[in-house]
Amino acid sequence: MKIKILFVCHGNICRSPMAEFVMKKLVRDLPADSPLADVEFEIASAATSTEEIGNPVYPPARRMLAMHGIDCSGKTARQMTARDYEYYDYIVLMDRNNLRNLRWILPADVYARETGGAGIPTKNPAGVSSRNPENRKVSLLMDWALKSRDVADPWYTGDFVATWDDVNEGCKAMLAQILQQIQQ
């Protein structure tokens, strides 16, 4: 089994690469006896804009990752494409602005399906976040942690610690829910 995850933010130089490399580390650090140990993961990140294409991870984000033993060298920003939507199992956005920006990337019918209603993923009666009945691929990272808020953009806030905390919380919750789904 292979699970493909694409993290998306505005420029692909702060939040989404942090999420990409945090999730890669979480997967790499899974115990050998984990049910996910035999699952192949493909994890990447992209932007909704073209502003930073080709640029490396923003230095403060790179330093935050390095402080936690995570190397992101070689990563450069790229823009998400409609083909990415078809390829990846999960498209995980950092904020609602990213969701709105998908309208310029996805075909109109796909965008309407993915953004119909108020958001994704939905919560089941037990209060646990789950894939919704329409099998949408698009979600917001903090929804996985059952928090309906955006990951703060450190480009504007300068608070890379808060972003680090959000990214870790969201990625851990997402991985736990993927494990739960596999075990069902």
**pLDDT digits over 26-48, tens only?**
999 999 999 988 899 999 999 99
| pLDDT given at position 179 | 92
C-alpha 48/C-alpha 119 separation (Å) is 18
Give the per-residue pLDDT at 153.
93
62's enclosing H/E stretch is helix 59-67
Q: Enumerate the domain spans of the chain.
A: 2-183
Number of Cβ atoms within 10 Å of the Cβ of 137: 20
CA distance linking residue 63 with residue 160, whole number of Å:
10
| Cβ neighbours, 10 Å, residue 98 | 27
Residue of 86, 63, 67 whose CA lies nearest to 13: 63
Q: CB within 8 A of 78, min separation 6: which ones?
A: 12, 46, 47, 53, 54
Instruction: Give the CATH number of domain 2-183.
Output: 3.40.50.2300
d(C-alpha 164, C-alpha 162), whole Å: 5
Residues in the chain: 184
User: pLDDT for 103-134, tens place per residue?
Assistant: 999 998 889 888 874 344 444 323 333 444 34
The whole-number mean pLDDT for each consecutive block of 10 residues of the chain, a chain of 184 residues, reads 97 98 97 91 98 98 98 98 97 96 92 67 38 70 95 93 98 95 84
What was the pLDDT predicted at 184?
79
So what's the pLDDT on residue 135? 65
